[in-house]
Structure 1
Amino acid sequence: MINFVLLINSQGKVRLTKWYSPYNQKERTKVICELSGLILTRGPKLCNFVEWRGYKVVYRRYASLYFCMCIDADDNELEVLEIIHHFVEILDRYFGTVCELDLIFNFHKAYYVLDEILIAGELQESSKKNVARLIAAQDSVVEEAKEEAGSISNIIAQATN
């Protein structure tokens, strides 16, 4: 089971977090500080697995972002590396070569993608096409809601004039 997902840039700033195990805010802050210090100081030729507090942290660097997932000690690290790569490929498809700014300004869309792939810390959807289809449907619902809200506000504005 995946306990949490962290996206950290090379300066140690958190860009996305998703917690599947209960941690209070103080523990979350401590975990982020510990892991960012641990992962960012590792050399590029070292393996992408770190044992930490009885868990394993699997991470992978893409450009300036570190995608980290904390798993149980007996889980398969290579499977989690594939999940990370799967997540990045879907983000690339959606944003067209995803970068840190895409995640900063469209963080809600990155959460949509992550929520379609993982549910309760377990892989739920391995098909990139299905995830892309579901995200496109979600985007169309959001656009329709924006248009409807705009037309309602126009009606109200006309009625008050």
Structure 2
Amino acid sequence: MIKFVLMVNQQGQTRLSKYYEPVELSRRAALEAVAVRCCLSRSKHQVNILPAGDVFVVLKSADRLLMAAGIIVLEEQLLIMFNLDSVHIILDEMIQNGRIVETNKCRILAPLTAIDKMADG
């Protein structure tokens, strides 16, 4: 579940914040400070998913803004765990021998669609 979305400039100022569950103002400031610190302290060669307290911060850089989404750790890990077979199928369709061979969403999801049709029919 996504807890919040932030847009932060290069100076660390929050330009936009959207929360998807009630959070006290003092807690918001603390969450934003941790997220901003994590965002601005990483180099461009580091991973874009960072732990920040009880959430993971997923980063995307766009021009001079950093966009960050805070997701609940436990729910997202369980979601992936329950769909692990689908994740393997998707990865197998996209990557072969360490190289990306397919990026077309329809072609990547075709085996999953076929499996769903077989299960329903």
Structure 1 gaps, min length 5: 77-161
Aligned length: 76
Partner-residue secondary structure (3-state), 1:21? coil
1: CA distance, partners of 2:54 / 2:34:
14
Shift of residue 7 of structure 1? 0.3
Aligned counterpart, 1:9: 9
Residues 49-60 of structure 1: pairs in structure 2 closer than 5 A: 49-60=49-60
Partner-residue secondary structure (3-state), 1:43? coil
Aligned counterpart, 2:119: none
The sequence identity of aligned pairs, in percent, is 28
Shift of residue 41 of structure 1? 1.0
Shift of residue 31 of structure 1? 1.2
Aligned counterpart, 1:75: 76
Residue by residue, what CA displacement relative to the aligned partner does 1:103-135 show, whole Å, maximum 9, x if unpaired?
Answer: xxxxxxxxxxxxxxxxxxxxxxxxxxxxxxxxx
Shift of residue 54 of structure 1? 2.7
2: CA distance, partners of 1:40 / 1:11:
9
Aligned counterpart, 1:22: 22
RMSD: 1.3
Letter in 2 for 1:54: D
**Which structure is higher in strand share?**
2
Partner-residue secondary structure (3-state), 2:42? coil
With structure 1 as the length reference, what TM-score do the two structures score?
0.45
Shift of residue 50 of structure 1? 0.4
Does 2:24 match 1:34?
no
2: CA distance, partners of 1:27 / 1:75:
22
1: CA distance, partners of 2:13 / 2:64:
11
2: CA distance, partners of 1:28 / 1:17:
9
Change (3 A) 1:43 1:70: same
**Which structure is higher in helix share?**
1
Q: Is the CA contact 2:38–2:52 (under 8 Å) kept in the aligned structure 1?
A: no
Partner-residue secondary structure (3-state), 1:75? helix
Letter in 2 for 1:5: V
After the TM superposition, which parts of structure 1 deviate over 3 Å for at least 4 consecutive aligned residues?
none
1: CA distance, partners of 2:16 / 2:23:
16
Aligned counterpart, 1:125: none
Shift of residue 56 of structure 1? 1.1
